[in-house]
């Protein structure tokens, strides 16, 4: 999809971006030898610029460590201030921020559009089962399988938590979720797609397949044997 098509699809969604602010985000293993925190800040700024005329209600930004903060309707200027004044802390607990997003969405505080969530982190959650439980509970409040799409995005080249993220992606329905609403992207994929492309990819992955509604080609009528006389019209 080109950028225009991506933006058109994203305009039909409520968007929340949850970013890991744990101390490991100081690690400088991103392109340009910058920290993971700085790299995702630049991506978030680019995302905000790209969607400025598309997401009329802007987007929700969440920052999480052992605690979390949620900021609705964030503008580019506000987002830069939030990143610049944030101190990285111990802990990777996205479940609290994720639960608050779901609570707001299902009580109607975020509007009626489907919800797209990106969870950006450099490692596995401290309590993966709590995260899985929050997602499972949310699926049972959904009215259709494409109402919510979640993508876990790895930033940095560490392999921490890759197996748990695959579990979120592939095993939630086997463990009681109503729908499969999760996909994951590693850092190589995130660099290639960017934050906008990764979100759109997740949305598309959870949209129902469009049935082929083209009319079937008419079969040629068999020729009647020459011995049968033509029918008369009265």
Whether pLDDT at 233 is above 50: no
Q: Which residues sit opposite 148 in a β-bridge?
A: 115
As a whole number of angstroms, the distance between CA 105 and CA 110 comes to 5
pLDDT mean over 126-135: 92
For the cut 90, the answer to whether the pLDDT of residue 87 exceeds it is: yes
| pTM for this predicted structure | 0.86
162 pLDDT higher than 70 = no
- Determine the 3-state secondary structure of 60 from DSSP: strand
Q: What number of residues does the chain have?
A: 234
The pLDDT score that the predictor gives to residue 206 is 86
Helices (H), ranges, the chain: 3-10, 36-50, 76-85, 95-106, 128-139, 162-171, 187-205
Both structure tokens of 225:
């044997």
Residue 92 confidence (pLDDT)? 94
Residue carrying structure tokens 């506000």: 78
Residue 211's pLDDT is 39
Domains of the chain and any CATH numbers: 3-205 (3.40.50.410)
Q: Is 14 helix (H, G, I), strand (E, B) or coil?
A: strand
Tell me the pLDDT band of 47, cut-offs 50, 70 and 90: very high
| pLDDT over 70 (residue 49) | yes
Give pLDDT tens digits for 177-229.
Answer: 999 999 999 999 999 999 999 999 999 998 876 433 344 444 454 444 443 33
Determine the distance from the C-alpha atom of residue 224 to the mean position of all C-alpha atoms in its chain, rounded to a whole number.
59
User: Which of the 8 DSSP states describes residue 231?
Assistant: P
Q: Is the pLDDT of residue 85 over 60?
A: yes
Residue 97 CB partners (closer than 8 Å, separation 6+): 18, 62, 63, 64, 68, 70
Q: Predicted confidence band at 147 (pLDDT cuts at 50, 70, 90)?
A: very high
């Amino acid at each position: 999809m080109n950028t225009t098509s991506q933006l058109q699809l994203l305009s039909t969604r409520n968007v929340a971006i949850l970013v890991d602010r744990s101390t490991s985000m100081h690690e400088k293993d991103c392109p340009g030898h910058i920290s993971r925190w700085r790299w995702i800040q630049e991506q978030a700024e680019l995302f905000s610029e790209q969607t400025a005329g598309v997401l009329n209600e802007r987007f929700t930004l969440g920052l999480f460590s052992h605690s979390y903060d949620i900021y609705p309707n964030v503008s580019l200027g506000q987002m830069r201030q939030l990143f610049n004044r944030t101190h990285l802390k111990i802990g990777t607990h996205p479940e609290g921020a994720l639960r608050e997003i779901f609570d707001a969405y299902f009580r109607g505080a975020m509007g009626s559009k489907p919800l797209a969530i990106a969870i950006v982190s450099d490692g596995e959650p401290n309590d993966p089962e709590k995260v899985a439980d929050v997602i499972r509970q949310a699926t049972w409040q959904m009215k259709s399988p494409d109402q919510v799409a979640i993508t876990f995005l790895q930033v940095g080249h560490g392999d921490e938590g890759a197996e748990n993220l695959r579990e979120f992606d592939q095993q939630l329905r086997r463990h009681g979720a109503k729908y499969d609403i999760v996909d994951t992207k590693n850092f190589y994929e995130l660099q290639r797609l960017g934050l906008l492309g990764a979100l759109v990819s997740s949305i598309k992955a959870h949209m129902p397949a469009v049935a082929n509604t083209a009319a079937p080609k008419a079969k040629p009528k068999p020729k009647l044997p020459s011995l049968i006389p033509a029918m008369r019209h009265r």
